[in-house]
């Protein structure tokens, strides 16, 4: 498979996810303006940071495609050490804000934001040292599992809600992303395309459910 085709596919995929992230962020603005519910506020922040994280990845692909257009290949080891720091920070903050949107009544915001920054910076430094987005996602995996337990516990005595479905879809999206961030050389192109389509379908469903949630 030509390298340009691989980067081109990732470029389009990342652009779509960035668009959907900010679409969810702005879509929930109306509901927050009406209710001033802090849980919605922190839920919005999670998607803002998701969007910033994928925007950084989009920038990586944009640089790679630009270099390919000029027949100049810059090894990823020169790009990742720089970009993995903001990617690690923003994506970790997204996960932490997602968790905080569920437990904001039990933890003061100032304490949360201080702790969240320490965790995010620590993980982003780890991302810089390993130079691997896959390792970054594996480090973040315990945080996602914690969210899964919080959601399950919070809704164990309640009927299934649209909110519950949204959180599970976000976690499912992240798990699919784990496979997409694996070694590309060992993954057939058809499998990569299928996972990217599944990932986009999951995020599109999240946007649809958020739209219904607002209504």
For the chain, list the domains and their CATH numbers.
Answer: 3-214 (1.20.1070.10)
**Mean pLDDT within 29-40:** 85
Q: What is the mean pLDDT of residues 161-175?
A: 76
pLDDT at 119 (0 to 100): 93
- More confidently predicted of 140 and 163: 140
Burial 34-63 (b: 16+ CB within 10 A, else e): eeeeebbbbbbbbbbbbbbbbbbbbbbbee
DSSP per-residue letters across 103-171: HGGGS-HHHHHHHHHHHHHHHHHHHHHH--HHHHHHHHHHHHHHHHHHHHHHTTTS---HHHHHHHHHH
Report the distance separating Cα 58 and Cα 64, nearest Å. Answer: 10
Alpha-carbon gap, residue 53 to 186, rounded angstroms: 25
Identify the residue whose tokens are 């058809």: 190
Q: Of residues 164 and 144, which shows the higher confidence score?
A: 144
95-134 pLDDT, tens per residue? 999 989 888 988 899 999 999 999 999 988 887 887 777 7
Give the mean model confidence (pLDDT) for residues 22-26.
90
* DSSP structure string for 42-89: HHHHHHHHHHHHHHHHHHHHHHHHHHHHTT-PPPHHHHHHHHHHHHHH
With contact defined as beta carbons under 8 Å apart, do 199 and 177 qualify?
A: yes
Q: Which of 98, 95, 211 is nearest to 154 (CA)?
A: 98
Q: Give the whole-angstrom CA distance, residue 63 versus residue 173.
A: 25
Cα 35 to Cα 194: distance, rounded to the nearest angstrom = 39
**In angstroms, how far apart are the furthest CA atoms of the chain?**
59
pLDDT at 111: 93
Q: What is the pLDDT of residue 37?
A: 86
Confidence (pTM): 0.84
pLDDT at 1 over 50: no
């Amino acid at each position: 498979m030509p390298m340009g085709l691989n980067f081109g596919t990732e470029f389009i995929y990342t652009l779509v996810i960035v668009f959907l992230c900010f679409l969810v962020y702005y879509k929930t603005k109306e509901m927050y303006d009406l209710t001033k519910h802090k849980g919605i506020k922190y839920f919005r922040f999670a998607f803002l940071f998701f969007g910033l994280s994928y925007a950084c990845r989009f920038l990586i692909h944009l640089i790679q495609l630009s270099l390919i257009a000029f027949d100049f290949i810059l090894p990823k080891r020169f790009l990742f050490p720089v970009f993995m720091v903001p990617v690690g920070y923003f994506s970790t903050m997204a996960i932490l804000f997602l968790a905080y949107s569920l437990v904001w009544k039990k933890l003061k915001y100032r304490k949360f934001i201080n702790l969240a920054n320490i965790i995010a910076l620590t993980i982003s430094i780890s991302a810089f040292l390993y130079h691997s987005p896959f390792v970054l996602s594996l480090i973040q995996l315990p945080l996602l599992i914690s969210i899964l337990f919080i959601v399950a516990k919070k809704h164990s005595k309640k009927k299934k809600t649209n909110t519950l479905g949204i959180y599970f879809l976000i976690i499912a999206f992240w798990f699919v992303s784990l496979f997409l961030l694996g070694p590309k050389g060992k993954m057939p192109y058809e499998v990569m395309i299928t996972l990217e389509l599944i990932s986009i379908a999951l995020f599109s469903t999240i946007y649809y459910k958020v739209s219904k949630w607002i209504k």
